[in-house]
Chain A
Amino acid sequence: MKFWVKIVVALCVVVVIVFGVWAFFFREKDVVKAYNQTTQLVDYKESLGLKERLVELSKMDYLHNEKTRKIVGNNAVNNEILNIRKDCLSSELIVGYDEHDVVIYSYDSYFIVDKTVDDIIRFYLPYTRGTYSSNTHQKNLSNTIKVYIESLSSLDKTIDNLIACQKEITGEDTAEMDALRGHYNQLYLKYRNVLNKSSQVMIALTDYINVSLYGGKMMADSRIALYDCYARALKVATSKDEIRKEVETLYLHDLHMIWDKMDKVRNGIDIYDSTYTEYKFLTGFNALFCEYRKSYDLIFDKVNLDKRQMADGEKLSDIVEKAKEPVIVLLNVLGF
């Protein structure tokens, strides 16, 4: 080999080594990775302007940019559209009654749930700068954030298409309304998927914070405990393979019960009593969160009636013996 070739090879080797050393010392540290990714997520979602367009869509209850052409529930297609609009966009609590006008369920629209999710993720953001090693949890958080961002992007396009379609059609043709119904169904599915992915981000965040900031010994306060319950209940409500509206409604009803407790805590209203004290609730939550995760997850998978029976100390055969008391306390504090 010629002398100058050797020199070039040697120089290349030196450059590669120097670059490797530089990359090693200046690589993004794990400590800031989770914080940076969560910040990017929050900024990305804000930059999409989803909230503003969903508000715009909620006010757009008419076709073809003509406010007089309201979508009215005079046929099955229109009714379906109106129901999806209510479930996805309503700013008020959605309430269902039986034949005797007794309330049988109440739940928040996806839009309201989404706002709660934003609040929770922003609450967690400053806590994502732990110093303990937590590679697995960091990777899990990265993955869930990536998938969540993809789902947001998909929802973004769906909203664009839906608004364009609604502005374009006159509603005089059945095919037009069928197409619009298709867009609304897409909105429903995509929004549902977004919420499901967001629940996974929230769960990954608490797991990451628990390990990276508190070395796996996080002491939850009421808000963190309720936020985590909310995330798990949301995951279940939006992850049933076969979407059956009546089933989802009941899970969303349970979700709203947890939201109600969160709201009370935020406003300084006591949610505990002499039997189910704050101390019992929090120590029980810590035990479920850190030691009896399977039992903890199982609670939210149950339907409302089962949850109420478990709160009464029944139907606990699936629960580990030591987790039974914490499960009862947790369900009672949540209002079941």
Chain B
Amino acid sequence: MKKFIGLLFIPVLALFSFFGCSKDKSAENIKTQYTSTIRKYYDDDIEKNIFFADDTNENTVKIYYPSSIQARIDITNPTNNMQKMYRGLYYQQVVLDKIYKYYEMTQEDFYTKMSSKGSDKSIGELSTQLERLDRVLDEFKVSYNNFLDNQEMEFNVTSYSFALNKVIDVSFDFIYNYIRLYEKNCRSTTGVYTSDTLQIDLYKSYVDVAFIVYKENIKAFTYSVGENGICDLSPVVKSSSTFNILDKLLGSCTLSLDIANGLNNADNAETLDKVNNYYYFKSVFEQRLVNYKQIYAEQDIYTITRYRFNLVNGVDYDNYLNSLSISQRSNVTMLDDFVANNFNDYYNKISAIVA
């Protein structure tokens, strides 16, 4: 009987070993996986990334059609709906740019330090997220190809934009996990500010800025559900609504020379004051963000956004808020308050230290 029970344990042990080991990924594996995944952003035929940024002119969106036709759309001052839609695409691309900028700037340090630690289970999750990103990029490429096949530019941009949102969602999951690992394993704990660490934290801040702008101004607009959904970004692009924070995406990512030099001079109280303020409000923002995410997930953000941007005839935002119960109203007000105060305070403190 004992032998029989002992025999039963062998396959169980084997299963444990198999699943346990398979999750151990080395940093080198992740690096390779990332490179092959990110390669999907590129179109081999044109040797360009599949987004529509124009390398030569940032004010235009450039589309390469398979028939070697190139289309350029000026998005500087969008006046018609099509230009506004493409301006929306441009903002989505900026969001992705902010996300991957952090990765690009830290990857070398990350892989060097993580490799020296050997295989680590904690980075297994990164691998899973990259697998998800890989799948979403495959889906996205279908939208991309459909977009190019069907040359009705205005008609097709909505589904393309919606597919791009899925890529952005998965990219945020990936980058926030990556940031958590990077800060846990690769950051010095001396607490002394240097221009290098400050610059990396700034990249993190721009991921945060992109996250809030995406949640508030992009995601809800490009969410499409039948006739009731908000189909494209044209209502928010160039709108004068106080809820429009798209311009926050276009900020610089570079630490100003004054602040960088000031850090080396211990007597420079003004620099330290600005840097301390930045770090303090970064902490406040990160604390409140947890609550924002929780409430955001519980609210019907698509309905809220429609009222915020006056897309519902006859009912303005204040009337909409008054129609809610007090507790619901408090929750929605908290979302607005988070952006108007915590996010804005954070952004203002960033602005004080960048060039």
Contact = CB atoms under 8 A, between A and B. Distances in A.
Interface residues of B, number: 24
A293 interface: no
Nearest to A221: B284
Given A123-B337, A278-B277, A42 B284 contact: no
Interface in A271-293: 277-279, 282-283
Interface stretch (A124-132, A159-167, A172-180): A124-132
Nearest to A126: B334
Contacts of B277: 277-279
A43 B283 CA distance: 33
Contact of B284 (A43, A123, A125, A219): A219
B333 interface: yes
A78 interface: no
Interface string B265-295: 0000000010011001101100100110011
A147 B273 CA distance: 44
B337 A43 contact: no
B326 A221 contact: no
A277 B327 contact: no
Nearest to B276: A279
A81 interface: no
Given A279-B276, A279-B280, A126 B330 contact: yes
Interface in B121-155: none
B26 interface: no
B190 interface: no
A262 to B, nearest CB: 13
B342 A42 contact: no
Interface string B316-350: 00000000011101110110010001100100000
Contacts of B337: 123
Report whether over half of chain A's contact residues are helix, strand or loop; otherwise say mixed. Answer: helix
A213 B291 contact: yes
Interface residues of A, number: 22
Contacts of B291: 126-127, 129, 213
A323 B281 CA distance: 22
Report whether over half of chain B's contact residues are helix, strand or loop; otherwise say mixed. Answer: helix
Contact of A122 (B273, B295, B330, B342): B330
Contacts of B333: 122-123
Interface in A188-219: 213-214, 218-219
B326 A279 contact: no
A42 B327 contact: yes
B273 A43 contact: no
B273 A218 contact: no
B337 to A, nearest CB: 7
A46 interface: yes
A219 B273 contact: no
A106 interface: no
Nearest to B332: A126
B326 A42 contact: yes
A131 B273 CA distance: 33
A249 interface: no
Contacts of B341: 221, 223
Interface string A230-264: 00000000000000000000000000000000000
A39 interface: yes
A177 to B, nearest CB: 39
Contact of B280 (A123, A218, A223, A283): A283
Contact of B327 (A125, A218, A219, A220): A125
A77 B241 CA distance: 54
Contacts of A220: 284
B287 A214 contact: yes
A42 B331 CA distance: 13
A202 to B, nearest CB: 15
Nearest to A215: B287
Given A219-B280, A279-B280, A282-B280, A125 B330 contact: yes
A73 to B, nearest CB: 39
Nearest to A265: B341
A141 to B, nearest CB: 16
Interface string A21-50: 000000000000000000100110010000
B283 A42 contact: no
B280 A46 contact: no
A46 B273 contact: no
B280 A277 contact: no
B325 A43 contact: yes
29 contacts: A39-B326, A43-B325, A46-B326, A122-B326, A122-B329, A122-B330, A123-B330, A123-B334, A125-B331, A125-B334, A126-B291, A126-B330, A127-B291, A213-B291, A214-B287, A218-B287, A219-B280, A219-B284, A219-B287, A221-B284, A221-B341, A221-B342, A221-B345, A277-B273, A278-B277, A279-B273, A279-B276, A279-B277, A282-B280
3 shortest interchain CB distances as A-B pairs: A126-B334, A39-B327, A125-B330
Interface of A: 39, 42-43, 46, 122-123, 125-127, 129, 213-214, 218-221, 223, 277-279, 282-283
